[in-house]
Structure 1
Amino acid sequence: MIPAQRHKFNQQFTEEKYQNFIQKLENGYPEIPFRVAETPVFVPKELKEKLILAGEEIINLIKQPNFKALTQKSIPENWNVPNENEQPHFLTFDFGICKNATGALTPMLIEMQGFPSLYGFQNHLSKTYRDCYEINNSVNHFLNGFNEEKYIELFKEVIIGKHQPHEVALMDVDAPNQKTAIDFFVTQKMLGIKILALEDIKKVGKQLFYVEDGKQIQLKRIYNRLIFDEVANNTEVFKNSFDPREALDIEWVTHPNWFYRISKYTMPFLKSEFVPETRFLNEVETIPADLENYVLKPLFSFAGMGVIIDVTENDIKSIPDPKNWILQRKVTYEPAVQAPDGGVKAEIRMMYLWPDGGEPQLCINLARLSKGKMIGVRYNADFDWVGGTVGFMEE
């Protein structure tokens, strides 16, 4: 999208360079099971400023004193975890890159989460792009004045807090075998914390422990990567470990309730030029005549599962629980990234860290490229110049 950067990159690109890039990216880590794109996204200053403004508008809503009351119904009763804190530690906002009425590129909000993303991997990925493709310093994957040293310092503060690294663990059901495990390993290398599967953690009274070298070590803080939606139908996974819904002597980063509060559930409360018209389905009094311009999304789903793109009146009428769905005006992505064989659609995730007692800080970003009907990996399996990447933003 920055013509000079794009032209230079495409001119010097070779398949051999790409293979060398992937090799370097995986060096010292397990093989990456998701597709990493051939190219970063070069984001012009004007679009970067719109992305920043769009994020600030969303944060203004989240910081309202009544935000918890507004989103209380988002938390399913059987997944409400005690001891919720006052703020999420992470905010991630996904924007599709579109064209506005004047033909200028503009972001449109697609998804938002109060849940961690690839905060470790994105820095590793960006450095590897820069090394392998000789990307100059007029663009940056960091935002808001951050550099690597400042970023790692804040990341450490958010994840570890006042504890020692061995008292903090990144946790998922089967952490080392998750699709995003490379992020876990990069994070461990950056911060020195443990990576634990759920079954590695045992409960004694209200405290949690893991065993290392025959010693029992108390966990004080959990960097939570477990999404309850993924285990909702299999609560047996908690039997040999602990149930997060119990009152426990543990600090959460971030507390699981924020996954629900900051989600598709929040979008109907946002009114902005950067947010598509979104309504709870149970509040839609008249079905729009132009349903082809809408998409139907379940509030609680992961990685695009359950989304109905080509909506019919019958789809709407057959939803048994409309309060758990949203009807959203479709967003038309602009194929703004020029690959050798034509335009590619892009989505940019703006990623914030929010330390205890501090303010949310925009630090880094993630981008995804797509030629398929939707952005996700499963919709782009047979294409090249698609997949996970990063935005290098004009300084």
Structure 2
Amino acid sequence: MIGSYRASFNEHFSEEKYREFLEKLENGFTKIPFRVAETPIFLPASLKEKLIAAGAEIVALIRQPDFKELTEKSIPENWKVPAENAQPHFLTFDFGICKDEHGELTPKLIEMQGFPSLYGFQALLGETYKAIYSLPEQLTPYFNGIDEAGYIALLKEVVLGDHEAHEVALMDIDAPNQKTAIDFLVTAQYLGIKILSLSDIKKEGKSLYYEQNGERIKLKRIYNRLIFDEIGDNTDLFKDSFDPRDELDIEWITHPNWFYRISKYTMPFLKSEFAPETFFLNQLSSIPSDLENYVLKPLFSFAGMGVIIDVKKEDIEAVADPENWILQRKVNYEPVVQAPDGGVKVEIRLMYLWPEGKEPVLCINLARLSRGKMIGVRYNKDFDWVGGTVGLMEK
């Protein structure tokens, strides 16, 4: 989107360079099962400032004294975890890049999460794009004057706190086989923490531990990457490990309840030029006559599952649990990144770190390029110049 960088990048791009880029990205880690785009995004200062302003409005909502009261019904009764803390440690906000009525680029909020994203991988990704494509030093994926060393130090503060690295573990259901395993490996390299599957963790009383070289090591913190929606009714997974809903002597980074509090559920409370009009379906006074301009989303799903893009009146009337759905005005992505064969749509994820008792800090970003009907891997399988990437900005 910064024209000079885009023109230069496209002129010097080659498939050979792209293969070299992917090889360096995976080297020493693991094969990446999701598509990484051929190019980074070059974010202009005007769009960067709008993203910062949009993010600040959402942070202000989350910091309202009544935010927990507003979002109490967001947490499914069967997934409430005790000992919730006062704040999340991660905030991620997804924005589609559009054009306003003046033809200027502007962000529109798509979704938000109080849950970690690819905080390790994105740092590696930005560094690798710059190295392989010989991009100018003044380009950075970081906000707020942060550099790589400062970013890793802040990530370490958030994840480790006052604990030793061996007392903290990144946990997912089957961590080595997750699609995001490369992020786990990069994070472990940065922070020195263990990567554990749910089955690697055992419970004794209220304590959790793992075994290493025949020794029991007590866990004090879990960097949680497990999404309860993935478990569903398969709670037998907890039998040989532990149930997160029990009273436990453990610190959650971040506490699982925040995954629900900061989510699609939060969207109707946000009134902003950067957020599309959103309604809880059970609070809708009448069905809009221009349904072609709306999308219907279930509250309790992830990765775009269950979303109805071409909404009809019958779809709304057929919903049995309207309190668990939202109707949201569509966001019209603009194909603003110029690939060699045309424009590509963009989504930018702002990624914050929120150290305990301190201020949230906008640190880094994640971006997705798309030519399909929706952003996401499953909708872009047959295209090139799509996939995960990062926005680079001038320092």
Q: Shorter chain as normaliser: what TM range?
A: over 0.9
- Within 1, Cα distance between the matches of 2:322 and 2:5? 46
Q: What displacement does 1:285 show?
A: 1.2
C-alpha RMSD over aligned residues: 0.5
**Alignment correspondent of 1:273:** 273
SS in 2 for 1:54: helix
Alignment of 1:226-237 (within 5 A): 226-237=226-237
Q: Whole-Å Cα distance in 2 between the matches of residues 233 and 101 of structure 1?
A: 47
Aligned partners of 1:171 and 1:195 also within 8 Å: yes
Cα distance per residue 1:278-303 (max 9 Å; x no partner): 00000111100000000000011110
Task: Note the alpha carbon deviations across 1:125-148, whole angstroms, 9 max, x for none.
Answer: 110000001111332100011101
The separation in 2 between residues aligned to 1:236 and 1:56, in whole angstroms, is 41
Aligned partner of 1:212 in structure 2 is 212
Provide the secondary structure at the position in 1 that maps to 2:73.
Answer: helix
Instruction: Show the 5 A alignment for 1:342-361.
Output: 342-361=342-361
In structure 2, the residue corresponding to 1:233 is in which secondary structure?
coil
Alpha-carbon distance in structure 2 between the residues aligned to 1:393 and 1:183: 22
* Matching residue of 1:136: 136
Aligned partner of 1:319 in structure 2 is: 319
Quote the Cα distance in structure 1 between the aligned partners of 2:139 and 2:131: 14
* 1:200-234 deviation line (CA, Å, top 9, x unaligned): 00000000000000000000000000000110221
Q: Deviations over 1:80-107 (max 9, x none)?
A: 0000000000000000000001110000
In structure 2, what is the Cα distance between the partners aligned to 1:157 and 1:138? 26
Matched ranges for 1:1-395 at <5 A: 1-395=1-395
- Residue 248 of structure 1 deviates from its aligned partner by 0.2
For the residue of structure 1 that corresponds to 2:162, the secondary structure is coil
List runs of 5+ in structure 2 lacking aligned partners.
none
Q: In 2, are the aligned partners of 1:201 and 1:208 still within 8 Å (CA)?
A: yes
Identity of aligned residues (%): 71
Amino acid at match of 1:80: K
| Count of aligned pairs | 395
Q: Distance in 2 between matches of 1:279 and 1:2?
A: 35
Q: Matches of 2:354 and 2:140 in 1, distance apart? A: 21
Is residue 48–residue 394 contact of structure 1 (8 Å, CA) maintained in 2? no
The CA distance in 2 between the partners of 1:325 and 1:270, in whole Å, is 16
TM-score when normalising by structure 1: 1.00
Whole-Å separation in 1 of the counterparts to 2:393 and 2:329: 28
- Cα deviation for residue 29 of structure 1 reads 1.1
Equivalent AA in structure 1 for residue 237 of structure 2: V
- Please tell me the residue identity of whatever aligns with 2:45: K
SS of aligned partner of 1:332 = coil
**SS class of match (2:392):** strand
- Cα deviations by residue, 1:321-376 (Å, 9 ceiling, x for unpaired): 00000000000000000000000000000000000011100000000000000001
Is the Cα–Cα contact under 8 Å of residues 142 and 364 in structure 1 kept in the other structure?
Answer: yes
State the Cα deviation string for residues 5-29 of structure 1 (Å, max 9, x = none): 0000000000000000000000001
Report the 3-state secondary structure (helix = DSSP H, G, I; strand = E; otherwise coil) of the residue aligned with 2:51: helix
Secondary structure (helix, strand or coil) at the match of 1:110 reads strand
1:394 positional shift: 2.9
| TM-score, with length taken from structure 2 | 1.00
Distance in 2 (alpha carbons) for counterparts of 1:191 and 1:339? 36
Q: Which amino acid aligns with 1:368?
A: R
CA contact (8 A) 1:229 1:302 kept: yes
What is the CA–CA distance in structure 2 between the aligned matches of 1:67 and 1:369, rounded to whole Å?
33
Secondary structure at 1:196 match in 2: strand
| Separation of aligned partners in 2, 1:21 and 1:246 | 45
Residue type of the alignment partner of 1:180: T
Q: Secondary structure at the match of 1:125?
A: helix
**2:366 counterpart SS class:** strand
Q: CA deviation at 1:41?
A: 0.5
Amino acid at match of 2:181: A
Query: Secondary structure at 2:71's aligned position in 1?
Result: helix
Cα distance in structure 2, aligned partners of 1:233 and 1:144: 42
SS of residue matched to 1:25: helix
Counterpart residue identity of residue 35, structure 1:
R
Q: Distance in 1 between matches of 2:57 and 2:137?
A: 29
Return the alpha-carbon distance in structure 2 between the equivalents of residues 91 and 173 of structure 1: 22
